[in-house]
Amino acid sequence: MRALPFILLAATALLGASPAAQANEEALNKAGCMACHTKDKKLVGPSFKDVAAKYQGQDATAALVQKVRTGGKGVYGPIPMPPNPPEKINDADLKGGVEWILKQ
């Protein structure tokens, strides 16, 4: 039965929903990001697919973590994103969340 963990891993990879990715999405849900963002439709903010497409091939994680923390505007339009302080989302969840966003 040594193959079982591997089979489970392969199965979740095939389904496209690894436990880690789900945890990242869940953290963004809890932090209230999904009030303004969705995976594939523009809401108040850009869709995460649009964000991922914009930074494709770039290592944008650190810059985006910073931007989400402090908020900002002007990249997608005049509507600002408010700051998201550590009480809302901790560093690890924010970094994991941004990495997940960039894979959409």
Residues that bind ligand HEC (CB under 6 A): 28, 31-33, 35-37, 44-46, 51, 64, 67-68, 72-77, 79-82, 84, 89, 97-98, 101
Query: Closest approach of Cβ 78 to ligand HEC, in Å?
Result: 8
Q: Could you tell me the two tokens for 56?
A: 């494709």
Answer whether 51's CB lies under 8 Å from 63's CB: no
**How buried is 58 (Cβ within 10 angstroms: 0-12 exposed, 13-18 middle, 19+ buried)?**
exposed
Nearer to ligand HEC, 23 or 35 (CB): 35
Nearer to ligand HEC, 49 or 67 (CB): 67
Would you say 84 and 75 are in contact if contact means Cβ atoms under 8 Å apart? no
What is the distance between the alpha carbons of residues 80 and 90, in angstroms, rounded to a whole number?
21
CB of 23 to ligand HEC, least distance (A): 14
Q: How far is the CB of 98 from ligand HEC (least distance, A)?
A: 6
